[in-house]
Chains A and B, each alone.
Chain A
Amino acid sequence: MIFKQHFQTTRDKAIKFTIALVTAFIMFYPILVVYLGAFKSKGQINADPFGIPNPATLETMKEILGVSSSFWQMLFNSIVITGGTIAIVLILAMAAGVGLSRIQFKGRQAVFNYFIMGLLFPLTVAVLPLMLQLRTLGLTGTRLGVVMAQAAFSIPLSVFIFTGFFKEIPQELQDACDIDGGTLLTFFRHVIVPISTPVVSTVSILVFVQSWNQFLLPLLVLSDQAHYTIPLGVMQYQGQFASGWNQIMGFIAISLLPIGIFYFSMQKYVIEGLTSGAVKG
């Protein structure tokens, strides 16, 4: 009996593990296709698009890295734009979150709802009026314009998450700061900052993923190729008079490296950040 139970659980585990393994392979397969393709010649990829490169050639990669010195420029732009967006969102949304959760005032719920309304409106549908707005402010063609617009559209979710998180802090802690003659600033420094790590990482990661992958907005705002981000570069590369699939795959393979490295080295934080924030919300 005991033996049977043991046997069953082992078998159960084996089945579960196999399911997990197969799924992982399926989920990762498209990425695998990219990396296999990147090491093939033009003839190879046409003859055998999904097989293992035989022989593997570094020619494609060399060509791309040699040709696309612009890749480094694009990487820099992506980092600058994403970094800027994260910084602005964190500062503004965190402050607003504190204001909306820790200060009692008339119309607080209304202001909160006002921000939340933005959740219902994606960037895509407001693109033209947004362009007009950016032009009025003289921000078309600049990276700052992309940053401001992206940050603005990230505000609703971030304010939502921060407010929810800060609401959980017991009022006594805040009162204690007040009694000690401190202000909200003290409270901010001694209570909020030390406990905010998870929520800050949640928001950073959400904004990071959105901003890094954003295609439409930078496409419409930026015109100088020297300002192009990585997604724009991929589009540019597989353009009108595109080269072979091996080169497109090679270019994508390289483009995926920064986010891949970031993700797999930080994945513990990425996932913890996402989970802690989302559950609170």
Chain B
Amino acid sequence: MKKAIVCVLMVALVVAMGMTSVSCQKSEGKAASAGPVEIDWWVLSGGAGADDPRTEMNKRVAAEFEAANPNVKVNVNVFENEAFKQKIQLAIQAGDPPDLFHSWGGGVMVEYANQGQLTDITDYVKSTLSKKIGIGALGVYGYDGKYYGAPYDMGAVALWYNKDILAEVGIEVPKTWAELLTAVPKIKKAGYVPIALGAGDKWPAHFWWVYLAMRIGGIEAFNAAYGGSGSFKDETFVNAGKELQKLAMLQPFQTGFLSASYDDESRIFGDGKAAFELMGQWAPNVQANNSASGEGVKNLGVTTFPAVEGGKGALTDVMGGGNGYIVGANAPKETVEFLNYFLSVENQKEQVALEGIIPVVKGAETVLEGNTKAIAEAVGNAGYYQLYYDQFLPPAVGEAVKDAVAALLAGSATPAKAAAMVDDAWQMEK
């Protein structure tokens, strides 16, 4: 017994010493090699373990850039989505942002910029990046005339549907909100889940409320609330809550949707058990990854969010967003060159194949087909393009929107209270 403990202790000691020397070596190495410039790059994982194709691609691009620029070293750090959100927040709050990192743009990014945690790359965007990326897409990564990064993916949230189920139940693709509401009981009767929803992760649920508000009040309602001439307590947002409540009363979601994750949502749809899913351009990819049978992705259709009767919004109004990278404060100047290198037509085409993005670099869209092409066109034709609220609005307000929608769905808040929750957070933040 004693011997065993002593052994364990010795091992622990040796290991600890080994570790200190490892970390010493590392810091020495960093200090001694003042020559090479290091770029810390934080990317999201594709979640398929170490052989994740996205990670492999990112590492390959980094290596290519290093080969072309011997004085630069790109450190690729891969994070799972929710872990990334936690980590980046702490890194920003601790004043220690990475040099180049994933961002959905919008208000969250603006918050980082306001705290002085981002590098203003406006000049580079204007001189170089704007030549290959449309100014609309770049705008998501800019604010008040200043740019902090660039997108690599820009799409839309749309209503995905399972053609087989719709045919079996005998319903048309809903063009109006009323049609969707009448379809729900029919689909339930046929033994399918009308709508898959992962409200435990909150953001998939907030899409529904935001789209309803867009269809009911159009761009004017949002601009009024955002600009200060109106508020998030306005009729539009209360009515959006009422419509969502109408839908929720029909119990269209799978059992336990309130705690379900987005993975659960895509699994149910991917397995062909649900008729609809309101999700972004990446949906087919995730559905296929998560499903066991693949039934749901065989005959996949996509349509715009239905119109609400009497609403001011147009069917071409689109809510969506993209994925991109922004440049942290104190990043080496080579960072933007690497970003530019990453945003090549070839890389974009590869990303289309690997993760189903909607490319932003001109010339890469030629590889799009089918549903993704439809989404790219919807984005292109959008009269009013609204970035997801949870990214567009400041973090505290974005969280409040998601909370309000969750409360609405759980039945603990009335439409008016939900709207007030959002407005309170907004007034505090303004």
Contact = CB atoms under 8 A, between A and B. Distances in A.
Check A-B contact in the complex, CB < 8 A: yes
Interface of A: 42-43, 45-46, 64, 67-70, 79-81, 83-84, 86-88, 90, 127-128, 131-132, 135, 138, 140, 142-144, 147, 197, 200-201, 204, 219-220, 223-225, 232, 235-244, 251, 266, 269
A242 B293 contact: no
A264 B70 CA distance: 51
Give the residue among A143, A224, A240, A244 with the most B Cβ atoms within 10 A.
A240
B81 A90 contact: no
Interface string B16-48: 101110110011000000000000101011111
Contacts of A67: 48-51
B224 interface: no
A240 B262 CA distance: 8
A239 B45 contact: yes
Contact of A269 (B4, B23, B51, B87): B4
Give the residue among B93, B263, B271 with the most A Cβ atoms within 10 A.
B263
23 contacts: A69-B50, A70-B50, A80-B16, A87-B9, A90-B9, A135-B96, A140-B96, A142-B23, A144-B20, A200-B5, A200-B9, A220-B86, A223-B40, A223-B77, A232-B83, A235-B83, A239-B80, A239-B81, A240-B44, A240-B45, A240-B80, A243-B49, A269-B4
B167 interface: no
Interface stretch (B169-177, B284-292, B343-351, B369-377): B284-292
A243 B19 CA distance: 34
B430 interface: no
Interface of B: 1-2, 4-5, 8-9, 11-13, 15-16, 18-20, 22-23, 26-27, 40, 42, 44-51, 75, 77-83, 86-87, 90-91, 93-96, 98, 262-263, 271, 285-286, 289-290, 292-293
A237 to B, nearest CB: 6
Contacts of A127: 90
A67 B48 CA distance: 9
Contacts of A90: 9, 12
Closest 4 CB pairs of A and B: A239-B80, A240-B81, A83-B15, A87-B16
A79 B16 CA distance: 10
A143 B50 contact: no
B82 A239 contact: yes
Contacts of A251: 49
Given A69-B50, A240-B45, A87 B15 contact: yes
B60 to A, nearest CB: 16
A50 B20 CA distance: 45
A224 B45 contact: no
Contacts of A46: 271, 292-293
Contacts of B90: 127-128, 131, 220
Given A235-B82, A242-B263, 19 more contacts: A69-B50, A79-B15, A83-B12, A83-B16, A84-B12, A135-B96, A142-B26, A147-B16, A200-B5, A204-B8, A204-B9, A223-B91, A223-B98, A238-B47, A239-B47, A239-B83, A240-B45, A240-B263, A242-B290
A87 B9 CA distance: 7
B81 A42 contact: no
Contacts of B75: 224
A29 B76 CA distance: 39
B49 A70 contact: yes
Contacts of A79: 15
